[in-house]
Structure formats: structure tokens, C-alpha cells
């Protein structure tokens, strides 16, 4: 369902970060984000065991991917989203032919309503906490490992990615193990106000945010999945938190530099490279997962840019 995305060396980002920066361009997926890898894999697995309808409560890229997967598998999809979901995301979900229900002020309310609608034969597709999903996300590392040989990278010294609920992190680490890159460290990036993973690592236990205050709503899980915290004990993971302003500025620069529109959720990971963050110091060759995101418009990104101003 997902496509094989390119792995490229970014001249501009390499110059900015003073080291080799490689990009895995997940923004090019048909739904605009990597989510289709995992959601497609999970939806297919549930369809094979008899699911007759897909249900989601994500007002973000997972909801868009569930709508897309439903159409690809000829299964009806129901997506319940809260009122806070952007007009762009609602359009995308409806455009893929899913039934869209708007209910509640928060994701928790929409999710509660969605769970109440589940009938026999429905498959609930979780946005980040499902082994089928991680297995699907891992495919991006299979591709990266094949591409690395072809483009002479051999292997990256570190991988930079964004963390919301931790599904991408779990999938990437599964992929790293699969291709024999289990010793490649992961730099896990969040924005201030969506930093549940960073706080949990500091506390040494799962921490729930009181509220998500970052504009990077795709990183806005109040609590990360248990598996992500387990992996933090098994794999070298460095946690970084950037500001909303840094994330927005990185997305704006990326739009100019690579002609790709991404959410600040993706800008957060890019900001580590654009800012040549100190965490990169030991790593001469870095791969950034440009995870994408289709819930913002260029206008919205420009408005945030104007609001936050330039500089750090
Ligand atoms: C979902 C998403 C994330 C975060 O992924 P998790 O699996 O929740 O950690 C980051 N960026 C974008 C664009 C997303 O859609």
C-alpha cells in the first residue's frame, strides 16, 4: 500500500549540520506520511483475519492512512475525530471515502465515542501502539539499508526521528535489528509540550502529560507506548526536545530547500540537523527520517512562522 521512498543525501542540510545528512523521504508516501506503512500492514493483517470495517479515532495522519487503507482494501472505514482536527485533515479523510464523524473537544472524547461504535467484525487501528503497525514501519529501514549500499553510505552513525506515541521509534528499532544495524543509535526528537518520552526517560517511569501544548499535534500523545520505554533500556536512544519555533522554522526551511511541505512534527527532527545540535557531535553520517505529515497547509506553516518570528 505504501511506496518505496527514496533515500537521498541532502547537500543543504549537510552544509547546515557540517556532516553528511541523509534523508529518508517518507513525506512522499501517498498519504503524506510514514503512517501508511504501519496502518497498511495492520489493516491488511486484520482484513486477513476477517475484519469487515476499519475504525480509527485519529484526527491526524493515522486517520488519513486508515481512510486510505480502507479504500485500498475495499473495506469501509469509520474515522471519529475531535473538533480540534484541522480542516485539511478532515478533507483528506473524507476524500479517501471514509465515514467521518466529528465528536468531542479532545482526542480522548473522540476515541471514547469511537470505541462505543465498535461492532463485531470491526478492526480498531491504533495510531501508535500495535505490533502490526511497528512491523509495517520497520520496512522503511529495510529500504534504507538496501539504498545505503547503493549510494555508498554503508551505514549511518545515527538515525534521527520524531516521537509522538512512539510507534515510529518502535518500528525503526525493529527495522534496525532486522538489517543488522542494532548498534546504530537513535536520536528521538519531541517538541516542548509534547515531550512525554523525554519526561518518562528522566523520571525512569511512564509519565503522562497533563495537556499537550505544542502545535506539533502529531507528536501530541499524552503518554508514549510501553514498548518505546522498554526499548529505551535495550537500545542506545538519545532524547532531544526542541521548541515549536525551531520545528516550524525547520519545516519552512525544508519547504524552500527540498520543496516538500511537512508538519512541525517532522520539522522537529529536521531542526536537529538544521541547528547542528550538539547531540550530533559524535556522528559524521546521520540519517533523518523525514516523516512528513499532511494535516497542515503552507498557509498555516507561514502563519506560525510569522507568529514565532525568526532566529532562536
Ligand atoms: C504520527 C506521526 C509522528 C509520530 O509518530 P509516533 O508513532 O506517534 O511516535 C510524527 N510525525 C508525523 C508526521 C506523524 O504523522
DSSP state of 219: G
Q: Ligand 1 test: best mutation among 27, 29, 33, most atoms within 8 Å of CB? A: 33
254-293: burial string, b at 16+ Cβ within 10 Å, e else: bbebbebbbbbbbbbbbbbbbbbbebbeebebbbbbbbbb
Task: Identify the pLDDT of residue 108.
Answer: 83
Q: How confident is the model at residue 107 (pLDDT cuts 50, 70, 90)?
A: confident
Q: Is 72 exposed, middle or buried (0-12, 13-18, 19+ CB in 10 A)?
A: middle
Determine how β-strand 53-56 pairs with β-strand 77-81: parallel
Percent of the chain with pLDDT over 90: 93
- C-alpha to C-alpha distance for 13 and 17, rounded to whole angstroms: 6
> Does residue 106 carry a pLDDT above 90?
no
Average pLDDT, the chain: 96
pLDDT at 153 over 90: no
| Ligand 1 lined by 47 (C-beta under 6 Å) | no
> Is the CB of 292 inside a 6 Å radius of any atom of ligand 1?
yes
Region 12-16: what's the mean pLDDT? 97
Instruction: Name the residue at shortest CA distance from atom 14 of ligand 1.
Output: 218
pLDDT tens profile 270-295: 999 999 999 999 999 999 999 999 99
Residue of 34, 56, 92, 271 best suited for mutating to test ligand 1, as the one with most atoms within 8 Å of CB: 34
Task: Summarize pLDDT for 63-90 with one digit per residue, the tens.
Answer: 999 999 999 999 999 999 999 899 999 9
Q: So what's the pLDDT on residue 39? A: 98
Contact (Cβ atoms closer than 8 angstroms) between residue 70 and residue 54: yes
Please tell me the distance between residue 52's alpha carbon and the centre of ligand 1 in angstroms: 26
pLDDT at 99 > cutoff 60: yes
Distance 128 CA to ligand 1 centre (A): 8
Q: How confident is the model at residue 154 (pLDDT cuts 50, 70, 90)?
A: confident
Amino acid at each position: 500500500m505504501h511506496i518505496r521512498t527514496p533515500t537521498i543525501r541532502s547537500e543543504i542540510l549537510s552544509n547546515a549540520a557540517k556532516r553528511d545528512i541523509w534523508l529518508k523521504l517518507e513525506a512522499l508516501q501517498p498519504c503524506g506520511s510514514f503512517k501508511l506503512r504501519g496502518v497498511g500492514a495492520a489493516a491488511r493483517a486484520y482484513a486477513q483475519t476477517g475484519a469487515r470495517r476499519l475504525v480509527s479515532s485519529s484526527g491526524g495522519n493515522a486517520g488519513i492512512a486508515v481512510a486510505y487503507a480502507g479504500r485500498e482494501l475495499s473495506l469501509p472505514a469509520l474515522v471519529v475525530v475531535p473538533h480540534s482536527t484541522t480542516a485539511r485533515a478532515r478533507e483528506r479523510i473524507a476524500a479517501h471515502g471514509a465515514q467521518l464523524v466529528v465528536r468531542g473537544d479532545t482526542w480522548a472524547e473522540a476515541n471514547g465515542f469511537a470505541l462505543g461504535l465498535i461492532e463485531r467484525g470491526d478492526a480498531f487501528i491504533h495510531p501508535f501502539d500495535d505490533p502490526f503497525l511497528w512491523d509495517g514501519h520497520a520496512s522503511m529501514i529495510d529500504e534504507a539499508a538496501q539504498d545505503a549500499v547503493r549510494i555508498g553510505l554503508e551505514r549511518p552513525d545515527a538515525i534521527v526521528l520524531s516521537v509522538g506515541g512512539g510507534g515510529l521509534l518502535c518500528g525503526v528499532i525493529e527495522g534496525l535489528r532486522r538489517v543488522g544495524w542494532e548498534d546504530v543509535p537513535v536520536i528521538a526528537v519531541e517538541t516542548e509540550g509534547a515531550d512525554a518520552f523525554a519526561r518518562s526517560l528522566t523520571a525512569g517511569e511512564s509519565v503522562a502529560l497533563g495537556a499537550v501544548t505544542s502545535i506539533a499535534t502529531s507528536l501530541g500523545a499524552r503518554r508514549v507506548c510501553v514498548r518505546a520505554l522498554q526499548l529505551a533500556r535495550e537500545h542506545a536512544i538519545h532524547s532531544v526536545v526542541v521548541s515549536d519555533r525551531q520545528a516550524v522554522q525547520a519545516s519552512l526551511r525544508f519547504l524552500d530547500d527540498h520543496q516538500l511541505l511537512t508538519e512541525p512534527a517532522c520539522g522537529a527532527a529536521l531542526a536537529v540537523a538544521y541547528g547542528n545540535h550538539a547531540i550530533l557531535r559524535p556522528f559524521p553520517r546521520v540519517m533523518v527520517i523525514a516523516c512528513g505529515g499532511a494535516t497542515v497547509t503552507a498557509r498555516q506553516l507561514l502563519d506560525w512562522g510569522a507568529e514565532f518570528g525568526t532566529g532562536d
